Amino acid sequence: MTDSKYFTTTKKGEIFELKAELNSDKKEKKKEAVKKVIASMTVGKDVSALFPDVVNCMQTDNLELKKLVYLYLMNYAKSQPDMAIMAVNTFVKDCEDPNPLIRALAVRTMGCIRVDKITEYLCEPLRKCLKDEDPYVRKTAAVCVAKLHDINAQLVEDQGFLDTLKDLISDSNPMVVANAVAALSEIAESHPSSNLLDLNPQSINKLLTALNECTEWGQIFILDCLANYMPKDDREAQSICERVTPRLSHANSAVVLSAVKVLMKFMEMLSKDLDYYGTLLKKLAPPLVTLLSAEPELQYVALRNINLIVQKRPEILKHEMKVFFVKYNDPIYVKLEKLDIMIRLASQANIAQVLAELKEYATEVDVDFVRKAVRAIGRCAIKVEQSAERCVSTLLDLIQTKVNYVVQEAIVVIKDIFRKYPNKYESVIATLCENLDSLDEPEARAAMIWIVGEYAERIDNADELLESFLEGFHDESTQVQLQLLTAIVKLFLKKPTETQELVQQVLSLATQDSDNPDLRDRGYIYWRLLSTDPVAAKEVVLAEKPLISEETDLIEPTLLDELICYIGTLASVYHKPPSAFVEGSRGVVHKSLPPRTGSSESAESPDTAPSGVQAAEQPAVIPTQGDLLGDLLNLDLGPPVSGPPIATSAVQMGAVDLLGGGLDSLMGDESEGLRSDVGGSPAIGGGGFAPAPSTTMPTNLGAPLGSGLGDLFDLTGGVGTLSGSYVAPKTVWLPAMKAKGLEISGTFSRQVGSISMDLVLTNKALQVMSDFAIQFNRNSFGLAPAAPLQVHAPLAPNQSVEISLPLNTVGSVMKMDPLNNLQVAVKNNIDVFYFSTLYPLHILFVEDGKMERQMFLATWKDIPNENEAQFQIKDCSLNADAVSSKLQGSNIFTIAKRNVEGQDMLYQSLKLTNGIWVLAELRIQPSNPSFTLSLKCRAPEVSQYIYQAYETILKN
């Protein structure tokens, strides 16, 4: 009879009956009852009421019954900690049992009961089991130490278990060694600073000896540990590689990938002139090929890893092109990966084969696959110059099929081929133009428009073709609109007499009728260029284009080196470092390949920097105002303040990215291009060219402020506690004298995680003001309006209106001087006005800025002392509690309070919207009205402004 019968009963008085059966004298009945209890627990019923009765069944010699009771215990100990203490005696007894299976079972269960109260009782039994004569018990105890460390790290360190674990690495039994390595690796991962796995040639030798006799999981743990070792020279690296190579023929694919990881890492240290280097390359290919005969899911993982390996060392698989040919029954995800690798391996030697395959794929039924195949043909043309001719004729054959999506993809790749080989294949343009009407995808339309604009002088009816696109200008996607604008300007510069009207039409469509800031900006720049200096316009718009490179989608080298260190893990499938997708404290330790040694190439080519140097954290530099173009349309927004860029080294703390991408966001993205929305009339020049009209702001974009959209925009919104953050009184920012009668006063506030700029606009002129719009220049923290400036009725003379403008922090970033400087442009029906103001930094303190105590201590120690700044806050008569609650209102959180020699010390943390943490120590003496504030931060340039925020909050 199977165990399914236990799952069928659903009687009413079941618990009561089970209680009776559990207390029965008959052993068989007891066992049946416990099985029923476990069955109920498995399907999610609450049987915790039976805890004492089940625990009584622990006193038995029957191994099966013991296992069941222990299973129950693991499940319910957390909800019944007081009851669980009853079971401690039995554990202690079971750890002395003559049967090693029972001893191991007791230790395993102890590790799984995550109850603080019990942990200290478990130390003695665990200590005995770590020294047990039976290896099965020792290997179980090793894993138990890692579990206990997760619950109470301090206890494990105090009890000396970590040293015992280190001793187990020298154990005679390979499985014990493997589990000890696994446990130490697990602990080291959560505490990267602790040097637990102190690997040296002797311990590496022991690991390699154990490697041959472990189970497959044990081998993976040991190989992963070896991958973190740094051999002292190429001799040692070679000997490790020789002893790891046999693992490549293992049946388990995870073992194979772990071995590949170790070899790829240590190959960096071998000179390419060595015979062994060549042998190793040959040995790496067969196991990778074998992985591709597994089931599709494993194939996919293998292919993602092979993709990385081929980018790092294409020579390994250069003769294995055939295994990457697609089979008809491969799932689509495998097909697409194989295609990718085929292109990476394409070379002059095999290009004929590859092209024949790709042409075949382009007639398949799967649309995604066909698209990728057509793109692949284009990529081959760009990669292998000798094949370009053949690729272009293949693409033309495909265009003749008239299959819509094939034609569109072909046009997109032909555009790139024109870029790579100028003046070679332009004869095909006529064929492309025949297919103009069938294009309906933005990318294909944009590519075709680019071709027409770029080669306008060769196409007789270029103006008619572009005009046909212009008819539905507003329905096109942004990509097509931008491309069309540029193409028509190119056409105008090539044939000015015939296309004057056309260019006038596109410029007014782009500037006056469009809501898209990128399109308007580009329109205005062209307009101004053409109206002021047509010669310069020609140089800018018709400049020589750089040739495109063959591999546009290669992974950036330092990232590739890091990913090679993660072969066989999720990171190698996502092609992202663990820090990008692992939540919490783990996975931020950056790994990198060892620097190359002894290779002849390092002497010859200075540009191949050792990859170890590259992978070291490079300091991120915040661009200064002088480095950037600022905002082209707001050229008179105050002079650029240049100064040396401040380098701020990226973080490598404990295991937490305290900056949380903060510096990256401080860096801003220079490729954002010109994002201005505000501009006066451009300069008006000769050349019979009408001036561009002043920009009109779209006023229909944002919802009324009361609609809560403001909060939606504020992506940095915190937890949503109604913080009573200090709001400064309004001051005049723009006097009426300077703004033709418009006076603007205002202040900044932060409420429930939303930042707003509270403005009062007053009309002191004699005419009505309307059509208000606002825009910020780039600034240090990316502050930007989250909605348009809503002034619902025109502003009559001598009238004022109060407006709360929601802000977010996702705008463009540029380091300002001072850091909290904000340059603003406000436009109305009269003119555009500029002013700058300083915002208090506390509006950027987020609601989740409270750091954990342990974290605080570790971070305080980790930030270098030269980053500490001290300030005096004078004339402040508050006591410590008042200070603490006042600061908490503005999201400065007190983590701990100590009294040292009569003075109060407050330890505080706060976090800025861009993820930068600031730690503070505030010293308060009861009799002394001046406080001492010490600030520590990884970006020390913010300290001065944090101090100003403290002073403002405490004194108001």
One-character DSSP codes across 443-498: HHHHHHHHHHHHTGGG-TTHHHHHHHHHTTGGGS-HHHHHHHHHHHHHHHHHSTTT
Residue 655 has pLDDT above 60, yes or no: no
pLDDT at 723 over 50: no
CA neighbor of 827 nearest in space, from 758, 788, 775: 775
pLDDT score of 268 more than 60: yes
The answer, yes or no, to whether residue 490 has pLDDT greater than 80, is yes
**The CATH number of domain 731-839 is 2.60.40.1150:** yes
In the sheet that holds 754-763, the strands lie side by side as 731-734, 742-751, 754-763, 800-808, 784-785
Distance of alpha carbon 686 from the chain centroid:
50
Residue 518 one-letter amino acid: D
Over the stretch 884-900, which tens digit does the pLDDT of each residue have? 988 998 999 999 988 88
Residue 724: the pLDDT is 67
> What confidence category does residue 708 fall into, taking pLDDT thresholds of 50, 70 and 90?
very low
Region 812-830: mean pLDDT is 90
Q: Which residue has the higher pLDDT, 532 or 193?
A: 532
Q: Is the dihedral of CA 49, 52, 58, 59 positive or negative?
A: negative
d(CA 898, CA 880) in angstroms, rounded, equals: 10
Split at pLDDT 50, 70, 90, the class of 593 is confident
Strand partners, 795: 769
The CA-based diameter of the chain, rounded to the nearest angstrom, is 109
Predicted local confidence at residue 588, as pLDDT: 59
User: Could you report the per-residue pLDDT of 859-877, keeping only the tens digit for each?
Assistant: 888 888 888 998 988 888 8
- DSSP-derived 3-state class of residue 639: coil
The pLDDT, as a whole number, for residue 34 is: 86
| Residue 644 confidence (pLDDT) above 90 | no
Spatial distance between the Cα atoms of 143 and 156, rounded to a whole number of angstroms? 13
The three-class DSSP label of residue 782 is coil
Residue range 165-187: mean pLDDT, rounded: 87
844-955 CATH: 3.30.310.10
Could you give the count of Cα atoms lying within 13 Å of 386 in the half-sphere of its Cβ? 7
The rounded distance, in Å, linking the Cα atoms of 817 and 605 is 41
Residues 6+ apart with CB under 8 A from 683: 528, 531, 532
For 940, the token pair is: 């020390």
Q: In 238-274, which positions are buried (b, 16+ CB within 10 angstroms) versus exposed (e)?
A: bbbbebbbebbebeebbbbbbbbbbbbbbbbbbbeee
| CA–CA dist 814, 623 (Å, integer) | 6
CA angle at 95 for the pair 94 and 99, rounded to the nearest 5°: 70
Query: To the nearest whole number, what is the mean pLDDT of the chain?
Result: 80
Average pLDDT over residues 787-811: 89
Q: Is the dihedral of CA 36, 41, 47, 53 positive or negative?
A: positive
- pLDDT, average across residues 645-673: 37
Please give the model's pTM, rounded to 2 decimal places.
0.58
Average pLDDT over residues 208-225: 88
pLDDT higher for 649 or 47?
47
Residue 700: left (phi > 0), alpha (psi -120 to 50), or beta? alpha
pLDDT for 623: 40
Read off the pLDDT band of 6 (50, 70, 90): low
Taking only Cα atoms into account, the Rg of the chain, rounded to an integer number of angstroms, comes to 35
pLDDT of amino acid 584: 65
Q: What pLDDT is stored for residue 675 in this prediction?
A: 37
DSSP 155: H
Cis-peptide, bond into residue 818, ω within 30° of zero? yes
Banded model confidence at residue 606, pLDDT cuts 50, 70, 90: very low
Instruction: Tell me 623's DSSP state.
Output: P
Angle between helices 500-511 and 517-532 (to 10 degrees): 140
Q: Are 756 and 805 in contact (CB under 8 A)?
A: yes
* Greatest mean pLDDT among 344-348, 426-430, 507-511, 821-825: 821-825
Span 270-292, average pLDDT: 88
* 759-778 mean pLDDT: 90
Instruction: Write phi, then psi, for 528 (nearest 5 degrees).
Output: -70, -40
For residues 98-105, average pLDDT = 87
731-839 matches 844-955 in fold:
no
Q: Structural domain boundaries of the chain?
A: 346-439, 441-543, 731-839, 844-955
